[in-house]
Every structure is written in structure tokens, then in C-alpha cells.
Amino acid sequence: MHSALIIVWEFPPGPGGIGQHAFSLAYAIHRKGIMVDVVTSGDSAAPSEIQQFDDQNRALNISRISNSSLLKYVRRMFACVSIVRRRKPALVILSGKSALWCGLIIRPFLPDGSVVYGFVHGTEINLPSRFARGLTHLSMRKVDRLVCVSNFTKELLKRSVNGLPSVYVLANGLSIALMPDGYSEPLDDIQKKGHPRLLTVGRISPRKGQFRVVRALPYLRTIWPNIHYHIVGIDSQRHELMSLAKSLGVDNLITIHGVLKNREQLYRAYSSADVFVMLSENQSDGDVEGFGIAILEANYFGVPAIGSKGCGIEDAIRDGFNGYLVDGDDAEEIAIVLRNVLSDESMKDRAKEWARMHDWDILVRSLIQEI
């Protein structure tokens, strides 16, 4: 049996699109009859949550390294080299900045013929630290294939880094086999509050676009007086967001739900929304939206999306099909497309179709064809 090694420092049950991307990818590779080892973070969630998750996913060999250890980088490298020596993987996938660094260390220990893919999401391209940026760019040059999660990420990468190997685009996907049957009981906290109900899933930050939605609410309220904006995710910038909302007089139109207990609750949140909104904004420190996997998750439950132009979301939304792309700072344009979404019942079915077109069981074939 062939084996694969995936190295990633964000992984469920902790939050984050990179982690969910890695988990779905690992599961799809496993479903093709390949043994999968995953080396990842050991403290992305409460210990009991991590243990429960790992127990439920024993099909994957998950090795977790604490990020709080002073020797975390040494322990990471040792764990990766140990697995390489023991398994001799035919396929290695490095996802994200620190994982790419690990690739430099394990390369000499890999068997002849193994293929190393480096997945680039966007945020690791123009890191603010000169040392980290240089090390990451060097690591990118040493893999066999660089895989970008969107055309936006590919173009950003080609503008920023010279001397790269082959660069491909493989858009993010969903592991449909891991999803429920397409319906989840709505959450009362969302379903019974407001119409239309807007939803964003992601850490509250300028990059994820919640601040842009809040700035658009005063105008949107003139058209939909009962509109309500629901936010799910790590709420570390709750105070800043609500201060903005209060200054605009729309704080009563917003509910911040924080991190939900599990993915079942997250799926229920999607099912409760009318429209998913992700007005991501590229940041000057290199923090950019590479794709927006939450858009596909919302689409799976028949929830169309509104996303911003000029970032990886342009690959997550086919304009007019599963949602619309807008200037995230133009409240009038947002209102126009919101009206279009609410009046087009067929878009719900197209959103579901779009999500199923991004099934990892299909997408993964291009990664494993060489082993």
C-alpha cells in the first residue's frame, strides 16, 4: 500500500480554513486506498475535543506536536523525519508556512520517486518578517510542485517569488463524504433573528471582511429594516467591531456567536442563513484571502454567497451562479446583489451544485496520479 504524509499546523477540531482543507484532503486520499499520516498541532483546541476528534478519525494516523513547547520546531522536525523513515511515503503534502519549512529538513530522507507538493494559500507569500519570508520562499523552491488554492494566489506568488518550480492551481474543495445529507436543523439563535439573515464564518478581522459588512449595514437597513448580521468564529476583535457598529448606530443589527461547539452546530448555522457574506480585504502585511472555503460549505446547504473582488474569493464564487462578486466597500452594489440573491430561488440549487463540483474525491485524483 502506498503511503502519504501531510504536514500542516492548523487542523480540526481547531478552527481555520487551512486545517479543514488539510483534513478533507487527507480523508479523500485515504478513500483512494492510501495510508495517510498527518503531523499537526497538538493544542489547537481543548484536549478533550482533540482526543474525541482523533478517536473518531482513526483511519488517519494523526501525530500532534504542542505549539507551546520551547522545542516545538525540533519536535516537529523529529516527528516528520521519523515518519518518513518508517513509512517511506510516495506522496508528501506541505500545507502552509511552517510545513513548507519542514520540507527542507525531510527532503534528504525521502525515498527516490516520492513527490513533494507544497500547498500555498496566500498568507504565506508576503510575510512581514524578512527572515520568515525568505525561509518560506526558499522552501517553496525546493518542492516538486507548488499548488495554489486559487488563481489569485498563483498570480500573487508569481509576482512575489522568483525561481519557482511548476505552479498549479487546485481550487479548494469539500469532502462530500464527510458532510451531512444537505440539510441541518436550523439554529433558533439565527433563524428567529432578522430578515434577511446575513452570515459570516471566520475569525473577526479586517481580512475576513466583517468590518466592511458593518459599514454597509446603515445603507442596507434603509431597504431591509429587519436585516440582521450573524457572525460565527473566533471573536478576538469583538470590541473593535462593536465599537464601529455603535458609532454607526447598527449594533442592534449584529449578533456575534463566537466559536460554535462543533461542526454540527456550524452546519446548522449555515442552514439558518439567507445569504453568506465574505467581503474579504487584502492587508498590507501580506494577510490575504486565498480562497474562502466557508463559501463552499455555505453553498452546500443551499446558501448563496456575496464575496469581494480582488482576492481568492473570485475562484470560490462564479458571479451570478452560486453568488455574486462585489466591491466590498460599495454598499449600494452590495444591496443590488443582495436583492438579486433574495429574489432568485434557483440560486439555492445552483449553490448546492457548485459545492458538489468541488468534491475532494474528484479533485484529489490529480495529486495521486503520479504515485
Q: What percent of the chain has pLDDT over 90?
A: 84
Of 14-18, 136-140, 170-174, 194-198, the poorest mean pLDDT is in 14-18
For residue 265, CA distances in Å to 12, 29, 184, 193, 286 come to: 15, 26, 9, 17, 32
pLDDT higher than threshold 90 for residue 323 = yes
- pLDDT tens column, 7-63: 999 999 988 889 999 999 999 999 999 999 999 998 888 899 999 999 999 999 999
Q: What gap in Å lies between CA 124 and CA 122, rounded to an integer?
A: 5
The C-alpha atoms of residue 119 and residue 8 are separated, in whole angstroms, by 10
Is-above-0.95 flag for pTM? no
What is the C-alpha to C-alpha distance for residues 287 and 117, in angstroms, rounded to an integer?
Answer: 22
Angle of the 72-87 helix axis to the 97-106 helix axis, nearest 10 = 50
Average pLDDT over residues 131-142: 95
Whether residue 69 is predicted with pLDDT greater than 80 in this model: the reply is: no
Omega within 30 of 0 (cis) for the link into 196: yes
| pLDDT at residue 14 in the model | 87
pLDDT of residue 200: 98
Whether residue 371 is predicted with pLDDT greater than 90 in this model: the reply is no
For the cut 80, the answer to whether the pLDDT of residue 304 exceeds it is yes
What pLDDT band is residue 76 in, cutting at 50, 70 and 90? confident
Q: Which among 244, 235, 243, 316 has a CA at the least distance from the CA of 278?
A: 316
* Among candidate residues 202, 192, 146, the one with its CA nearest the CA of residue 169: 146
The average pLDDT across 291-304 equals: 96
**CB 116, CB 86: distance < 8 Å:** no
Element housing 47 (H / E): helix 47-56
* pLDDT of 182 strictly over 80: no
Mean pLDDT of the chain: 93
* pLDDT tops 70 at residue 311: yes
pLDDT level of residue 183 (50, 70, 90 thresholds): low
For residue 145, the model assigns a pLDDT of 93
Q: What is the pLDDT of residue 45?
A: 85
How many Å apart are CA 193 and CA 226, to the nearest integer? 9
Q: What is the DSSP letter of 46?
A: -
Name all domains of the chain by residue range, CATH numbers in brackets: 3-170 (3.40.50.2000), 188-357 (3.40.50.2000)
Is the predicted pLDDT of residue 75 greater than 90, yes or no?
no
Q: For residue 189, what pLDDT band results from cuts at 50, 70 and 90?
A: confident
Tell me: cis bond preceding 13? Omega within 30 of 0 counts.
Answer: yes
Q: Containing H/E element for 229?
A: strand 228-232
Does 370 have pLDDT greater than 70?
A: no
369 pLDDT exceeds 90? Answer: no
